[in-house]
Every structure is written in C-alpha cells, then in structure tokens.
Amino acid sequence: MSIKIIVTDLDNTLLRHDKTISGYTAEVFKRIREQGVLVVFATARDFRYVTEYTSPLNGIEPDVLISDNGALARYKNRSLFKKTIPCATVKTLMPRYDLVRCISTENAYYLSGEYAKDHWSIGKKATIITDFSQAVEDSAFYIYGNTNKPSATLTDNIPDIRIVTYSDVSLVTVVHYEATKLNALNAVCNALNIEATEMMVFGDDYSDIEMLSNCTHSIAVANAIDECKAAANYICDTNENDGVAKWLEENLL
C-alpha cells in the first residue's frame, strides 16, 4: 500500500471524549511521520485553536491543517485553500440566529459571553469576548450558534453559503458554499502532487462523509454515525480505544 498522506478528523475520531490522545497514539503518529508520510488534521475547529493537539509534546504536529469546517487549508503557514463569507453576508446572517456562539475571521475569534467557558479558546490572545450586539465588520470562515429556524429560513435569499450540522449538538454552522473538507483536501493534494489512491482518511460525522466517499482508503471509527460507516470502505475501533492508531499500525506500519 503506497500511502503518502494520512487525513484525520479530531473530535470523536482521533481525540478521545476528554479531548486527549493516548501515549500509544502519539507514538504511532511519530512512527508514521518518520516514514515520510504527511499528517493532516481536518477539523471544524478554528485554525488558531488546535495547538494543544499539534504540539510536539503530543507527538502529532500535522504537516497540513484543514480547519474551520473546510474553509481554510494551510501547509507550512501558507494558505492552499481559503473560502470566506463576505462581510455583508455575515451582517445579514447574525440576526437570524437565536444566539451567535462564535464567529471565526482571519484576524480574530469572536466568542459570546454565554459561551466564554469554552476550554480550548478562552484566554487566547486572538479571542474577543462579545455579546454580538454590534455586527462583525469582517468576512468570516464560519458563524456558529443556536437557531430554532429551519435551515431554509436561516439561509433564505443568501447565495453561496451552506449549513453544517453535527450529530452530537443541536448548534449549526454557516460556511461558504465551497468550504468543505473535501474541497480543501483536493486543493492540498493538487498542490503537493498527491493522488486520491495515496490518501488514507478517517472520520466520524456528517462533515466527513464527502471525504470518506471519495477516498479509496477511507475508514470510519466504530463510534461514527451510520452515514459515515456507509460511506467508508472500512471500520476501525472507536476513538476511545485508539481506533485510528490501531488501524495505522496494523495496515500501514
């Protein structure tokens, strides 16, 4: 098997439920990188706030970061893919939410005071705590929050945006229509001359289905939603039981 790149989601895929990884998983990824295989994180998280999972202490410092629900892909601090919601659209969308939790822009991460105990972003220098009474004067990678409105109402009469939903929370995210993990991954592979058959992809939730469906070596963790399992070619152990690392050790190392 000729694999050049490993792509994994973070929450409920690589990370355990307490948002940590085991020493075993860290060691497996260290061995993967020593073989010259590139590691990619593909996550819904803001690009600034995955550092606790990308530090050398964990042994999983990715070569590529696909973040913000696929709106941004970076390789060696260089953007390979970027899709933002225009400022005017951000202003239109904000009042349609019952509560905006956070908005990710290139310059800052705006966080609602109601959501200020968020353990992985609070206290970071780029975080701005706000009640969102004032419109955000910038384009955005995503807008995340509560809404009781149907998706069609939230996005009504606004072109070029889409809704991202999650299996474990009722909150929804709005992103640019082209902001998907697959589109970002395709841009990365084009830039690095990597074929689809040279990728190995892991995921668990709705935003991973497209990647899993378009990759020969696609693996869903056992705790994934049924749609992910149906899209994947293989199933590995759960995130709690080092599923990703076990699969890599058994099938790649």
Q: List, for residues 53-97, the tens digit of each pLDDT value.
A: 655 556 678 899 999 999 999 998 899 999 999 999 999 999 999
One domain, residues 164 and 192:
no
One domain, residues 53 and 111:
no
Domain end among 158, 176, 194: 176
Spatial separation of the C-alpha atoms in residues 74 and 231, rounded to whole Å: 26
Q: What is the pLDDT of residue 168?
A: 76
One domain, residues 157 and 228:
no
Q: What is the pLDDT of residue 61?
A: 81
One domain, residues 92 and 171:
yes
Query: Per residue in 219-235, pLDDT tens?
Result: 999 999 999 999 999 99
Q: What is the pLDDT of residue 214?
A: 94
Domain end among 113, 141, 176: 176
Spatial separation of the C-alpha atoms in residues 113 and 127, rounded to whole Å: 11
Q: How many domains, in total, are found in the chain?
A: 2
Spatial separation of the C-alpha atoms in residues 226 and 201, rounded to whole Å: 17
One domain, residues 169 and 192:
no
Instruction: Give residue 69's Cα distance to chain centre.
Output: 5
| pTM of the predicted structure, to 2 decimals | 0.93
Q: What is the pLDDT of residue 128?
A: 86
Q: What is the pLDDT of residue 230?
A: 97
One domain, residues 162 and 210:
no
CATH number of the domain that 111 lies in? 3.30.1240
Q: What is the pLDDT of residue 56?
A: 55
Domain end among 110, 143, 176: 176
245: containing domain: 5-82+180-251
Low-confidence ranges of the chain (pLDDT < 50): none
Q: What is the pLDDT of residue 48?
A: 84
Consecutive H or E run containing 27: helix 23-34
CATH number of the domain that 214 lies in? 3.40.50.1000
